[in-house]
Structure 1
Amino acid sequence: MTNRIQCLDMNAMDWVDFPPMNTPRSECQLADLNGYLCVFGLNTKYVPSIEIYSFSTCKWNGLQPRYRPSEYSKITAHNGILYILDFENGFLQFYDVSSNKWTSKAIGKSSLRNFGFAATESYLYVIGGNENGEYMKTVKRYDLSNNSWCELASLSRGLEHPTTKVLGSIITICDGFNVEEYDIDIDKWNKLSCLPEEVRWTTVSISNTVFK
């Protein structure tokens, strides 16, 4: 458990220290919020909590959701909106950083955990995961406009804890071994390659900036 965050400067190829978080955390997830960095993880009391870092002020502040998420919740962000998906309690929360407002929706409870989570302008994507001990191949899409779920083209195999990143109309995922991409427009998966042996099963972030 630590309050330390580092960023890899891709130009200098060197690690840069951020100011330390106010609260040490473990099992952290990160999301980019258009000028803010959001960190979700377990604090020293093993309670899920959120801290947000402003790149303009270089300061950390606590961010309090409307409802406390479970430790198995997943976060993602798109266009300045933070999404928290909590299947254990059956709700979706989202935070608009520009208006500093939270809203929430009931989505139904599920035992699905450790899934990949990605967002676009109109949809949320839930990829793989573990449900009752089974690695899932399913890909589910949530329509933000009409609050409905549908299933898309399945994965080639069950995945747990896939790292996800939306790049235009492509969702790229990495499970610590393989890198695959999903084309939203044609609803099709394409396997790109295997990771080199020396970095397999390490923590991977698919982004222009890598945090650790």
Structure 2
Amino acid sequence: MSKLKFLITLLVLSNTILAHAESASYGVWHNAASTLEKRTEIAAAALDGKIYAVGGFSQPSLSNVLDFAVSRMVEVYDPATDTWTETTPLPEGRHHAGIAALDGYLYVIGGFTKGGLSVWRAAATLYQFNPVNQTWRELKPMPTARGALGVTVYQGHLYAIGGYDGDNNSAAVEVFDPQTNIWTSVAAMPTARDHLAVVTASDKIYAIGGRPSLNYRKNMDVVEAYDSATNQWHSRAKLPTARSGIAAGVIDGRIYVVGGESGEGTFNTHEMYLPDEDRWVVLPPMPTARHGLGAAVVNGRLHVISGGLTPGASFSQVHEVFTPTR
């Protein structure tokens, strides 16, 4: 090998090692207790230090064939004991629903349910869960029925963003006030899509990735941020890896985006967005590639739950946790 080739090889190797070291320095993954049941397309959120994994599809069996495997199941994870338990199931099965916690209650919004011989009937329902007495009640439905939407909390309100209404993608951004039980609409998202991730960070709402018309062969790298002060959306730095069927969580103002699916397979990809710098950083990948997974943050750790191991209808009990170190 010539000296020039040797130096080039050494430089490439050094850069690879440095990039890996920088990536690894941001945090580490470890396994936590598996969920009680194999599911996919769940909704997950943290409430009062515990994690709720809601609905989705269960692995088909004789016991759920009449429901087309659409799940009502609600599992609760306690990080203090590393254990899962069941609580009161949803009033009706939902998959691809939106979820958020606010003021001591859990909210499950929209999603798809079974209708006739289909499991893709878009729902507008809003369910509220009270963890004290473990009961659900139905509140005023969304103006626009849709599933595979994103839901987040901002300034005491729930924002339901995007999704698929059964015929077309929706760009709707509808806002629910729990104090008045009233929905209002604000500026529509510029890029209509489904299977996106929606989070709040640094006083903005971020809509990340997704796909058009439920088609994971046309994944998007679009990132748009909503400013409630001006009622406007703005484009931000693109997601490094175009993905849909993803999940996301926020720790110390940083957005962590994991998983996804495409026509070629599932993603173990893990990328972090720094809102103040409008910049993405590639982080250590999830140990297990998945789509249709749920994510929730408790005690500064990102819990990534269930999801499909292969594109389409696949199921898991996987529960992995990312702990940032910087």
**TM-score scaled by length of structure 1:** 0.85
- The verdict on how the C-alpha distance between 1:153 and 1:109 changes in structure 2, with shifts beyond 3 A counting, is closer
1:109 deviates by 6.9
Provide the residue aligned with 2:247 in structure 1.
Answer: 163
Query: Secondary structure in 1 aligned to 2:295?
Result: coil
Provide the residue aligned with 2:161 in structure 1.
Answer: 85
1:177 deviates by 0.6
Instruction: Give the gaps of 5 or more residues in structure 2.
Output: 1-69, 116-120, 164-168, 260-266, 307-326
| Alignment counterpart, residue 194 of structure 1, candidates 285, 289, 303 | 285
1:111 deviates by 4.2
- The verdict on how the C-alpha distance between 1:33 and 1:181 changes in structure 2, with shifts beyond 3 A counting, is same
Structure 1 residues 111-190: aligned runs within 5 Å = 111-120=192-201, 122-131=203-212, 134-175=218-259, 176-190=267-281
CA distance in structure 1 between the partners assigned to 2:204 and 2:157 by the alignment? 12
Q: How many residues align?
A: 210
Q: What code does the residue aligned with 2:133 have? A: T
- The verdict on how the C-alpha distance between 1:185 and 1:110 changes in structure 2, with shifts beyond 3 A counting, is closer
Structure number with bigger Rg: 2
Deviations 1:98-152 (A, max 9, x none): 4433221241675422221112463211111124753222211111111212111
Q: Which has the higher contact order (CA 8 A, sep 6+)?
A: 2
Q: Does 2:184 correspond to 1:95? A: no
1:97 deviates by 2.6
**TM-score scaled by length of structure 2:** 0.58
Aligned-residue Cα RMSD (Å) equals: 2.5
- Preserved CA contact (<8 Å) 1:78 1:120: no
CA distance in structure 2 between the partners assigned to 1:21 and 1:130 by the alignment? 27
Identity %: 22
Name whichever of 30-39 and 130-139 sits farther off.
130-139
Provide the residue aligned with 1:54 in structure 2.
Answer: 130
- The verdict on how the C-alpha distance between 1:137 and 1:68 changes in structure 2, with shifts beyond 3 A counting, is closer
Instruction: Give the gaps of 5 or more residues in structure 1.
Output: none
Provide the residue aligned with 2:76 in structure 1.
Answer: 7
**Higher share of residues assigned strand:** 1
Q: What code does the residue aligned with 2:222 have? A: T
- The verdict on how the C-alpha distance between 1:170 and 1:130 changes in structure 2, with shifts beyond 3 A counting, is same
**Higher share of residues assigned helix:** 2
1:5 deviates by 0.4
